[in-house]
């Protein structure tokens, strides 16, 4: 049976790869839909090969007790993944039929929406805000560098100090977005001193933010965003871009292993064992929820309360059972921060779907995700500054099209994209004010 499941996993990966290649050739580019299909094929396909083979050969495998007894469920898992893929495809094309999408596709998006100078000013404002708010947030921990003593405890959900400014913690990620803006302006040949200096300051402050939170994946996504954004800027052909990104993601996994050893975050004997442990949680989560059967009818509450996740956790903690906390409790026996549990077990897109309403939940969750991808693809086309567009597209590819497949809970997605959402609101307001002012000036000139 194990041989059959490995064959299925390889076929799943090859099918997703073939679909993405065909679409890339047809449209002469890779869209968010293609990146998500590749992530699903690689994670649920090749990932299973690595997880299963290591579980069989390695008696010290962390997830061995979950993988081997439930390996027969991989057939059901694969069928559910196929439903998920079809649902994402349907959601993408349904969203394409909306008048808003058709209007934004036909619309000339190359026109000037916000000047590059004003965009640079916005980048400096959000960078300054990030530094100021991080200073207020870290005061309770001894300042910018004092927080390093508490980083691991905070990441584990252990609160050693009562910080009245803890709600400011997410705003530190504004520095990451400001660095993307500066980088995008430089790609657009805006190489003025205050832009280059802004990139330098924001880049190193962003590294500080990421290190203070000990987030390996966040750090690697941040660095990879620049690489992929530059590749888009160079207009590399889709197939070459696909191959290069595959190598880049493999490098990300290897780098994550090196960082894990360097920071002493986990004990692992080899790269293969590390990959097996990191790639196993989507399968373990699915198997655990299917076997439990107690949390398969959440009625999409995880999506309905999404706006609450933009507020401080003190506002919504306890109001609704978090799917990640439930998943962690089912698998480990307690949620993060309780009974010595220092980490949560994320829910992937498939598990999140099945927890909403069983097989119907997978279908509807996939469609919602497909709609989200199509809407984001359209929004990217509205960015008039080319360098900014490709840099943000690279960030969204990593955060939404790839990693949101495996870290799918809305709370996690909101936290990962919080800085981007705040920046989008600021730029939207600035754009409206720019257009309003331009309209008034034009009317006054015509009146004269």
Interval 217-261: pLDDT, tens: 888 899 999 999 999 999 999 999 988 888 888 888 888 888 777
Please give the pLDDT value at position 372: 97
Please give the pLDDT value at position 265: 63
Please give the pLDDT value at position 427: 85
Q: How far apart are CA 448 and CA 440, in angstroms?
A: 12
Q: How far apart are CA 42 and CA 242, in angstroms?
A: 13
pLDDT confidence of 435, banded at 50, 70, 90?
low
pLDDT confidence of 133, banded at 50, 70, 90?
very high
Nearest to 143 by CA among 170, 163, 173, 123: 163
Nearest to 10 by CA among 66, 52, 69: 52
Please give the pLDDT value at position 159: 73
Q: Lowest mean pLDDT: which of 130-139, 180-189, 399-408, 429-438?
A: 429-438
pLDDT confidence of 85, banded at 50, 70, 90?
very high
Q: Lowest mean pLDDT: which of 83-87, 99-103, 357-361?
A: 99-103
Q: How far apart are CA 219 and CA 190, in angstroms?
A: 26
Please give the pLDDT value at position 401: 97
Q: Phi and psi of 270, rounded to 5°? A: -160, 170
Q: How far apart are CA 171 and CA 174, in angstroms?
A: 6
Angle 235-373-121 (CA atoms, 0-180°, nearest 5)?
A: 65
Percent residues over pLDDT 70 in the chain:
90
Q: How far apart are CA 290 and CA 209, in angstroms?
A: 38
Q: Which two tokens stand for residue 272?
A: 């293969």
Please give the pLDDT value at position 273: 85
- pTM score, whole prediction: 0.92
pLDDT digits (tens, 9 = 90+) for 41-61: 999 999 999 999 999 987 777
pLDDT digits (tens, 9 = 90+) for 337-385: 677 777 789 999 999 999 999 999 999 999 999 999 999 999 998 888 8
Please give the pLDDT value at position 344: 85
pLDDT confidence of 102, banded at 50, 70, 90?
low
pLDDT confidence of 110, banded at 50, 70, 90?
very low
Please give the pLDDT value at position 266: 66
Please give the pLDDT value at position 274: 86
pLDDT confidence of 320, banded at 50, 70, 90?
confident
User: Does residue 445 or residue 63 have the better pLDDT?
Assistant: 63
pLDDT confidence of 271, banded at 50, 70, 90?
confident
Please give the pLDDT value at position 114: 57
Please give the pLDDT value at position 112: 43
Residues 366 and 83 sit within 8 Å (Cβ to Cβ): yes
């Amino acid at each position: 049976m194990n041989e059959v499941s490995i064959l299925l996993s390889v076929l799943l990966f090859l099918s997703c790869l073939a679909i993405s290649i065909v679409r890339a050739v047809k449209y002469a580019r890779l869209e968010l839909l293609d990146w998500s299909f590749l992530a699903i094929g690689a994670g649920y396909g090749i990932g299973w090969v690595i997880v299963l083979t290591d579980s069989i050969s390695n008696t010290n495998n962390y997830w061995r007790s979950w993988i081997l007894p439930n390996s027969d469920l991989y057939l059901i898992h694969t069928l559910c993944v196929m439903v998920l893929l079809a649902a994402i495809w349907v959601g993408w094309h349904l969203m394409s039929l909306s008048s808003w999408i058709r209007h934004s596709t036909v619309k000339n998006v190359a026109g000037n929406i916000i000047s590059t100078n004003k965009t640079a000013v916005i980048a400096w404002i959000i960078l300054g805000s990030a530094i100021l708010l991080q200073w207020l947030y870290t005061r309770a921990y001894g300042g910018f560098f004092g927080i390093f003593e508490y980083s691991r405890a905070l990441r584990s959900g252990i609160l050693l100090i009562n910080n009245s400014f803890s709600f400011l913690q997410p705003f530190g990620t504004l520095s990451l977005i400001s660095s993307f803006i500066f980088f995008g302006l430089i790609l657009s040949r805006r190489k003025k001193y205050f832009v280059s200096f802004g990139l330098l300051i924001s880049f190193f402050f962003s590294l500080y933010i990421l290190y203070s939170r000990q987030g390996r994946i966040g750090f690697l996504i941040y660095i990879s965003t620049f690489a992929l954004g530059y590749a888009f800027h160079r207009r590399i052909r889709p197939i070459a871009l696909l191959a290069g990104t595959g190598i880049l993601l493999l490098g990300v996994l290897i780098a994550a292993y090196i960082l894990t050893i360097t920071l002493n975050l986990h004990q692992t004997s080899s790269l293969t064992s590390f990959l097996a442990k990191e790639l196993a949680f989507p399968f373990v989560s699915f198997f655990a929820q299917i076997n439990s059967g107690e949390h398969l009818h959440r009625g999409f509450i995880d999506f309905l309360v999404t706006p609450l996740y933009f507020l401080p956790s003190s506002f919504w903690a306890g109001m609704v059972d978090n799917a990640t906390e439930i998943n962690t409790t089912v698998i480990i026996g307690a949620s993060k921060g309780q009974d010595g549990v220092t980490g949560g077990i994320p829910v992937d897109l498939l598990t999140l779907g099945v927890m909403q309403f069983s097989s119907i939940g997978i279908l509807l969750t996939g469609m919602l995700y497909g709609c989200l991808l199509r809407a984001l693809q359209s929004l990217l086309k509205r960015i008039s500054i080319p360098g900014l567009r490709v840099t943000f597209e690279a960030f969204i590819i990593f955060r939404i099209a790839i990693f949101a497949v495996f870290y799918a809970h809305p709370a996690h997605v909101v936290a990962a994209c919080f800085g981007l959402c705040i920046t989008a609101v600021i730029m939207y307001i600035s754009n409206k004010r720019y257009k309003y002012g331009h309209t008034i000036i034009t009317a006054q000139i015509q009146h004269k």
